[in-house]
Amino acid sequence: MESDTQQIALGLRQGDVVVLEALVEQYQYRLVRYLIYLLGRRDGVDDLVQETWLRVLERGSSYDGRFRFEPWLFRVARNTALDAMRKRPMFSLDSKDDDGVRPSPASNAPSPFTLAARTEGADRLAHSLQALEPVYREVLVLRFQEDLSLQEISAIVGAPVSTVASRIYRGLATLRPQFQGETA
Protein backbone atom coordinates (compact mmCIF):
# COMPACT_ATOMS: atom_id res chain seq x y z
CA MET A 1 0.00 0.00 0.00
CA GLU A 2 2.82 2.36 0.87
CA SER A 3 4.21 2.34 -2.64
CA ASP A 4 0.73 3.24 -3.98
CA THR A 5 0.44 6.18 -1.63
CA GLN A 6 4.00 7.26 -2.46
CA GLN A 7 3.02 7.22 -6.14
CA ILE A 8 -0.03 9.34 -5.35
CA ALA A 9 2.09 11.80 -3.35
CA LEU A 10 4.61 12.08 -6.19
CA GLY A 11 1.85 12.52 -8.79
CA LEU A 12 0.18 15.23 -6.72
CA ARG A 13 3.46 17.07 -6.19
CA GLN A 14 4.01 17.10 -9.94
CA GLY A 15 0.39 18.01 -10.77
CA ASP A 16 0.23 14.82 -12.85
CA VAL A 17 -3.16 14.80 -14.64
CA VAL A 18 -3.09 11.02 -15.17
CA VAL A 19 -2.70 10.39 -11.42
CA LEU A 20 -5.40 12.95 -10.64
CA GLU A 21 -7.87 11.43 -13.08
CA ALA A 22 -7.24 7.97 -11.66
CA LEU A 23 -7.92 9.34 -8.17
CA VAL A 24 -11.14 10.99 -9.34
CA GLU A 25 -12.30 7.69 -10.90
CA GLN A 26 -11.42 5.74 -7.77
CA TYR A 27 -12.75 8.06 -5.06
CA GLN A 28 -15.58 10.02 -6.69
CA TYR A 29 -18.47 7.97 -5.31
CA ARG A 30 -16.99 7.89 -1.80
CA LEU A 31 -16.41 11.63 -1.89
CA VAL A 32 -20.01 12.28 -2.98
CA ARG A 33 -21.31 9.95 -0.26
CA TYR A 34 -19.17 11.61 2.44
CA LEU A 35 -20.37 15.08 1.45
CA ILE A 36 -24.03 13.98 1.41
CA TYR A 37 -23.64 12.54 4.92
CA LEU A 38 -21.89 15.71 6.03
CA LEU A 39 -24.42 18.14 4.55
CA GLY A 40 -27.59 16.02 4.65
CA ARG A 41 -28.51 17.30 1.20
CA ARG A 42 -27.78 16.43 -2.43
CA ASP A 43 -27.92 19.83 -4.09
CA GLY A 44 -24.62 21.70 -4.15
CA VAL A 45 -22.62 18.52 -3.55
CA ASP A 46 -21.37 18.30 -7.16
CA ASP A 47 -19.98 21.85 -6.95
CA LEU A 48 -18.21 20.96 -3.71
CA VAL A 49 -16.79 17.81 -5.31
CA GLN A 50 -15.28 19.89 -8.14
CA GLU A 51 -13.91 22.42 -5.67
CA THR A 52 -12.46 19.62 -3.53
CA TRP A 53 -10.53 18.13 -6.48
CA LEU A 54 -9.20 21.56 -7.39
CA ARG A 55 -7.92 21.92 -3.84
CA VAL A 56 -6.42 18.44 -4.01
CA LEU A 57 -4.45 19.66 -7.03
CA GLU A 58 -3.47 22.97 -5.44
CA ARG A 59 -2.47 21.53 -2.07
CA GLY A 60 -1.29 18.14 -3.32
CA SER A 61 2.26 18.76 -2.16
CA SER A 62 1.06 18.71 1.46
CA TYR A 63 -0.12 15.08 1.17
CA ASP A 64 2.31 12.77 2.98
CA GLY A 65 2.60 9.47 1.09
CA ARG A 66 3.39 7.55 4.30
CA PHE A 67 -0.30 7.73 5.23
CA ARG A 68 -3.51 6.61 3.55
CA PHE A 69 -4.95 8.95 0.95
CA GLU A 70 -8.62 8.76 2.03
CA PRO A 71 -8.31 10.65 5.35
CA TRP A 72 -6.41 13.45 3.65
CA LEU A 73 -8.99 13.64 0.84
CA PHE A 74 -11.90 13.76 3.30
CA ARG A 75 -10.17 16.46 5.31
CA VAL A 76 -9.78 18.58 2.19
CA ALA A 77 -13.46 17.92 1.33
CA ARG A 78 -14.55 18.88 4.85
CA ASN A 79 -12.58 22.14 4.75
CA THR A 80 -14.05 22.92 1.34
CA ALA A 81 -17.58 22.32 2.66
CA LEU A 82 -16.93 24.44 5.76
CA ASP A 83 -15.65 27.31 3.62
CA ALA A 84 -18.75 27.08 1.42
CA MET A 85 -20.95 27.15 4.53
CA ARG A 86 -19.19 30.25 5.81
CA LYS A 87 -20.00 31.96 2.52
CA ARG A 88 -23.58 30.64 2.48
CA PRO A 89 -24.52 29.98 6.12
CA MET A 90 -27.46 27.63 5.57
CA PHE A 91 -26.60 25.56 8.59
CA SER A 92 -23.67 24.72 10.80
CA LEU A 93 -21.90 21.45 11.56
CA ASP A 94 -21.88 22.28 15.26
CA SER A 95 -24.08 20.16 17.47
CA LYS A 96 -26.42 22.21 19.62
CA ASP A 97 -29.02 19.69 20.73
CA ASP A 98 -28.41 17.29 23.57
CA ASP A 99 -30.12 14.38 21.85
CA GLY A 100 -28.04 14.71 18.67
CA VAL A 101 -31.18 15.26 16.63
CA ARG A 102 -32.16 18.43 14.83
CA PRO A 103 -35.55 19.50 13.50
CA SER A 104 -36.54 18.17 10.11
CA PRO A 105 -36.04 20.56 7.22
CA ALA A 106 -39.13 22.56 6.32
CA SER A 107 -39.04 21.41 2.72
CA ASN A 108 -41.29 18.51 1.71
CA ALA A 109 -38.71 17.19 -0.76
CA PRO A 110 -37.53 13.67 0.08
CA SER A 111 -34.14 13.56 1.79
CA PRO A 112 -31.11 12.20 -0.09
CA PHE A 113 -31.17 9.23 2.30
CA THR A 114 -34.78 8.35 1.45
CA LEU A 115 -33.95 8.55 -2.26
CA ALA A 116 -30.79 6.46 -1.88
CA ALA A 117 -32.20 3.69 0.37
CA ARG A 118 -31.87 0.38 -1.46
CA THR A 119 -32.51 -2.05 1.41
CA GLU A 120 -35.23 -2.36 4.04
CA GLY A 121 -32.70 -1.50 6.75
CA ALA A 122 -31.60 1.65 4.94
CA ASP A 123 -35.22 2.61 4.38
CA ARG A 124 -35.89 2.38 8.10
CA LEU A 125 -32.84 4.49 8.89
CA ALA A 126 -33.38 7.19 6.27
CA HIS A 127 -35.62 9.50 8.29
CA SER A 128 -33.62 9.27 11.53
CA LEU A 129 -30.40 9.77 9.61
CA GLN A 130 -31.72 12.95 8.02
CA ALA A 131 -32.73 14.25 11.45
CA LEU A 132 -29.38 13.36 13.02
CA GLU A 133 -26.83 16.15 13.61
CA PRO A 134 -24.23 16.30 10.80
CA VAL A 135 -21.31 15.69 13.19
CA TYR A 136 -22.83 12.29 14.14
CA ARG A 137 -23.68 11.31 10.57
CA GLU A 138 -20.17 12.22 9.54
CA VAL A 139 -18.42 9.92 12.02
CA LEU A 140 -20.83 7.07 11.24
CA VAL A 141 -20.02 7.12 7.53
CA LEU A 142 -16.29 7.48 8.17
CA ARG A 143 -16.22 4.62 10.67
CA PHE A 144 -18.69 2.14 9.19
CA GLN A 145 -18.57 2.88 5.46
CA GLU A 146 -15.00 4.08 5.02
CA ASP A 147 -13.64 1.79 7.73
CA LEU A 148 -11.34 4.49 9.08
CA SER A 149 -9.74 4.24 12.50
CA LEU A 150 -10.64 6.59 15.35
CA GLN A 151 -7.27 8.33 14.91
CA GLU A 152 -7.88 8.90 11.19
CA ILE A 153 -11.39 10.25 11.84
CA SER A 154 -10.01 12.46 14.59
CA ALA A 155 -7.53 13.97 12.11
CA ILE A 156 -10.31 14.61 9.58
CA VAL A 157 -12.80 16.25 11.91
CA GLY A 158 -10.18 18.01 14.04
CA ALA A 159 -11.57 16.65 17.32
CA PRO A 160 -9.97 14.44 20.00
CA VAL A 161 -10.28 10.67 19.63
CA SER A 162 -12.50 10.52 22.75
CA THR A 163 -14.92 13.03 21.19
CA VAL A 164 -15.05 11.03 17.96
CA ALA A 165 -15.78 7.84 19.93
CA SER A 166 -18.58 9.59 21.85
CA ARG A 167 -20.10 10.82 18.60
CA ILE A 168 -20.08 7.26 17.23
CA TYR A 169 -21.78 5.89 20.38
CA ARG A 170 -24.39 8.64 20.30
CA GLY A 171 -25.01 8.28 16.57
CA LEU A 172 -25.57 4.53 16.98
CA ALA A 173 -27.77 5.12 20.03
CA THR A 174 -30.00 7.49 18.05
CA LEU A 175 -30.46 5.05 15.19
CA ARG A 176 -30.62 1.83 17.25
CA PRO A 177 -34.30 2.09 18.34
CA GLN A 178 -35.27 1.40 14.72
CA PHE A 179 -34.08 -2.18 15.21
CA GLN A 180 -34.30 -2.81 18.94
CA GLY A 181 -36.67 -5.47 20.21
CA GLU A 182 -36.32 -7.58 17.08
CA THR A 183 -34.93 -11.08 17.02
CA ALA A 184 -31.62 -11.54 15.16
Residues that bind other proteins (CB under 8 A): 14-17, 20-21, 24-25, 28-29, 32-33, 36, 42, 46, 49-50, 53-54, 57-59, 61-62, 79, 83, 112-113, 115-126, 140-141, 143-145, 149-150, 161, 164-165, 168-169, 172, 175-176, 178-182, 184
How far apart, in whole angstroms, are the C-alpha atoms of residue 164 and residue 33? 19
| Number of residues assigned to the chain | 184
Least distance to other proteins, CB of residue 160, Å: 12
In Å, what is the CA distance from 110 to each residue of 49, 77, 119? Answer: 22, 24, 17
97 vs 182, beta carbon nearer other proteins? 182
Q: Which of 83, 75, 49, 99 is nearest to 148 (CA)?
A: 75
The minimum distance between CB 46 and other proteins, in angstroms, equals 6
CB of 7 to other proteins, least distance (A): 16
Contact 131, 102 (CB under 8 A): yes
